[in-house]
Amino acid sequence: MTTFAIWDIDNCLADDTHRLPLIDLTACDNEERFAKYNAAMGGDEPCHVDLFNAVAMVATPVFFTSRPQTFHAETVAWLQRHYRVCANRIYMRAAGDKRDTVALKHHMLVRLRREFAYSNCTIVAYDDREDVCDMYQAEGVDSMRIAIHDSNIYVSCPLGCNHFSINHLGA
Ligand SMILES: [Mg+2]
């Protein structure tokens, strides 16, 4: 039996507070909205290190993040630098994948379970978003919401951007 702990990164392990002003709230397209925000991820400070280390003693870390795949190398290096972990299981947003974060992470969970045969692994999950944690719970995965700042900061929708729904989030 393998036990996995799924970890979100932004606003969960990575303190992205300094990047929040870089989110372009006037942009409806997520790639555009989070372009500068994502580009500055290397400067994040780690958070919840003690919790991560304690959980890592009993559960293999797996990372589910909405970060674009193009930031794979930078993200892996950051995790290695701050958490001393070799992130060989990291699921990221593929180029052109516009799915909302809940749908994206649900699909990541399906992939993980498929890889390890559903009945042969136990999974717990940590994420800053309530809707993502609710999805995990609905899938029978114990989840805990841990956040560094208010998760709603990503969803402030500018006037005239009506088609940008709460589900079209990047972080
Ligand atoms: Mg997050």
For 101-119, write each residue's pLDDT tens digit.
999 999 999 999 998 876 6
Between the CA of 23 and the centroid of ligand 1 the distance, in Å, is 14
Please check whether residue 22 is in contact with residue 170, taking contact to mean a CB–CB distance below 8 angstroms: no
Determine the 3-state secondary structure of 85 from DSSP: coil
Between the CA of 29 and the centroid of ligand 1 the distance, in Å, is 18
Q: List phi, psi (to 5°) of 151.
A: -70, -20
* Confidence (pLDDT) at 118: 61
Segment 135-151 shows an average pLDDT of 95
Between the CA of 163 and the centroid of ligand 1 the distance, in Å, is 22
Q: Which of 30-34, 44-48, 150-154 shows the highest mean pLDDT? A: 44-48
Pairing, β 14-15 against β 45-46 = antiparallel
How is the chain split into domains, by residue range? Answer: 2-155
Between the CA of 80 and the centroid of ligand 1 the distance, in Å, is 19
Q: What is the band of 171 on the pLDDT scale with cuts at 50, 70, 90?
A: low
Q: What is the band of 154 on the pLDDT scale with cuts at 50, 70, 90?
A: confident
Q: List phi, psi (to 5°) of 140.
A: 80, 20
Between the CA of 162 and the centroid of ligand 1 the distance, in Å, is 23
Query: Cα separation of 95 and 68, whole Å?
Result: 7
Between the CA of 83 and the centroid of ligand 1 the distance, in Å, is 17
Between the CA of 64 and the centroid of ligand 1 the distance, in Å, is 9
* Confidence (pLDDT) at 169: 45
The token duo for 82 is 């701050």
Q: How much of the chain, in percent, has pLDDT values that exceed 90?
A: 74
* Confidence (pLDDT) at 152: 80
**What's the CATH number of domain 2-155, 3.50.50.60, 3.40.1280.10, 3.10.105.10, 3.40.50.1000?**
3.40.50.1000
* Confidence (pLDDT) at 153: 76
How confident is the model over 63-84, as pLDDT tens digits?
999 999 999 999 999 999 999 9
Between the CA of 86 and the centroid of ligand 1 the distance, in Å, is 20
Between the CA of 14 and the centroid of ligand 1 the distance, in Å, is 9
Q: List phi, psi (to 5°) of 47.
A: -145, 155
